[in-house]
Amino acid sequence: MTRLRKYLASISVLVFAAGVLSAQAEVSREKIVADWATSAHADVSAEAFSHWNDEGEIPERCALCHAGAGLRSFYGFDGSTAGEVTALPTGGVIDCDTCHVEGAMTIAEVKFPSGTMLPAPFGNGTCFTCHQGRQSGPSVAAALEGKEDDTPDPDIAFLNPHYKAAAASMHGAVAAGMYEYEGKAYAGLYAHAPEPLCTSCHNPHSLEVRTEEVCEACHRVSDPKAIRVSTEDYDGDGDTAEGIHGEIATLHAQLGEAIFAYARDTAGTPVIYSAGRYPYFFTDTNENGKEDEGEAAYPNRYASWTPRMLRAAYNYQFAAKDPGGYAHNPGYVLQVLIDTFADLTGAPPAGSVRPD
């Protein structure tokens, strides 16, 4: 970081802290309840809360994150044994007591899917617990151990990182949420000024990014997607005015194209990606390079995975399903996307710049 940037960051921390304190002091309880009630955490009809309605209960392995009662059970805040979650009736959301029950604000450390325990700052342990994904770079590596990089293997199934794993992104290589390539160094916790906290950027009740209240003081743009500090043209498209979001979006799209080409030319079976359909990668049955009716169906899920292609698809999906990755840890996401492309094609995207 340049001296100027360090200086700017240090004075803005003070401005930032003062802003947050005064903003919080004004928030009434009514406003908090209204903010929460219209947030995704309260949306009982969302797929994330209604997925199990037909079965009538949320199974043990899903309940921790899909209802407040699951988190209370996992940490033993409800008087039950900590570390275990029982199946729950459907209909729960992320209620007030998910975060306000005694003990929740002060969860000191959280275990991530890579197995690593990481410290959680005040008020953020709950967010880290649920927004961490369900797979990791190491779990992908373990599933592929001993297999030939470019040989399709019917025993390999797609590993879904799960959704909006912001806490894994933010911790970068420390949580190892994405698959990282050997011999490369990766960014760790994104120590964004002033602090790497979910709650410094998101209102914990409305969940909205505190754009006006917080970001604009330092970044001077009203759309987070337009924010950039770096001067490098990471994606090599000649545009250094686009937000860091645009640098990532181009590299992500290029990785998608590289996966399609690899599937066709090396794995030997063309693939399509369908963003809203589990398990996302399907055989392009009529080989026309796009999704046609009936192709994105579970029985037609892609089944010619090679280890190299699975690692790439996992990283592609991780980035697709953390739409805030550009703010959660832009350097880490850029590094992973560039390395994944290089692993698939033999060279990084033309003109791209890998952040150190």
Residue ranges in contact with Ca ion by CB under 5 A: 233, 235, 237, 239, 246-247, 250, 284, 286, 288, 292
Residue closer to ligand HEC by CB (options 77, 262) is 77
Does residue 232 come out as left (phi exceeding 0), alpha (psi in the -120 to 50 range) or beta?
Answer: beta
Residue 304 C-beta: closest distance to Ca ion, Å: 15
According to the binding rule CB under 6 A, does residue 12 interact with ligand HEC? yes
- How many whole angstroms separate alpha carbon 72 and alpha carbon 213? 31
- How many whole angstroms separate alpha carbon 301 and alpha carbon 278? 9
- Using CB under 6 A, pick the residue from 136, 176, 180, 228 that binds ligand HEC: 228
Instruction: Render the burial of 244-264: b for 16+ CB within 10 Å, e for the rest.
Output: bbbbbbbbbebbbebbbebbe
Residue 354 touches which member of Ca ion, ligand HEC, none, C-beta under 5-8 Å by kind: none
According to the binding rule CB under 6 A, does residue 337 interact with ligand HEC? no
- How many whole angstroms separate alpha carbon 1 and alpha carbon 241? 20
Residue 244 touches which member of ligand HEC, Ca ion, none, C-beta under 5-8 Å by kind: ligand HEC
Residue 265 C-beta: closest distance to ligand HEC, Å: 30
Q: What mask, x for binding ligand HEC by CB under 6 A, covers residues 31 to 70?
A: -xx--x---xx-x--xxx--x---------xx-xxx-x--
Strand partners, 272: 282
Residue closer to ligand HEC by CB (options 21, 350) is 21
Q: What mask, x for binding ligand HEC by CB under 6 A, covers residues 234 to 253?
A: ----------x---------
- How many whole angstroms separate alpha carbon 195 and alpha carbon 131? 18
- How many whole angstroms separate alpha carbon 311 and alpha carbon 314? 5
Strand partners, 89: 57
Residue 121 touches which member of Ca ion, ligand HEC, none, C-beta under 5-8 Å by kind: none
Q: What mask, x for binding ligand HEC by CB under 6 A, covers residues 110 to 139?
A: -------------x--xxxxxxx-x-----
- Using CB under 6 A, pick the residue from 87, 96, 303, 342 that binds ligand HEC: 96
- Using CB under 6 A, pick the residue from 71, 110, 159, 312 that binds ligand HEC: 71
Residue of 277, 258, 229, 248 whose CA lies nearest to 345: 258
Residue closer to ligand HEC by CB (options 172, 194) is 194
Q: Per CB under 6 A, which region of 187-195, 261-269, 294-302, 336-344 contacts ligand HEC?
A: 187-195
- Number of residues in the chain: 356
Taking every pair of Cα atoms in the chain, the longest distance, rounded to a whole number of angstroms, is 61
- How many whole angstroms separate alpha carbon 51 and alpha carbon 7? 49
According to the binding rule CB under 6 A, does residue 164 interact with ligand HEC? yes
Residue closer to ligand HEC by CB (options 49, 305) is 49
Cβ-proximal residues to 281 (8 Å cutoff; 6+ apart), any chain: 158, 271, 272, 273, 301, 302, 313
Residue 239 touches which member of ligand HEC, Ca ion, none, C-beta under 5-8 Å by kind: Ca ion
The count of residues interacting with ligand HEC (CB under 6 A) is 77
Residue 246 touches which member of ligand HEC, Ca ion, none, C-beta under 5-8 Å by kind: Ca ion
Residue of 42, 303, 330 whose CA lies nearest to 152: 303
Q: For the chain, what is the radius of gyration of the CA atoms?
A: 21
Residue closer to ligand HEC by CB (options 33, 82) is 33
According to the binding rule CB under 6 A, does residue 330 interact with ligand HEC? yes
Q: Which residue has the tokens 């690899």?
A: 262
Tally Cβ neighbours within 10 Å of residue 318. 28
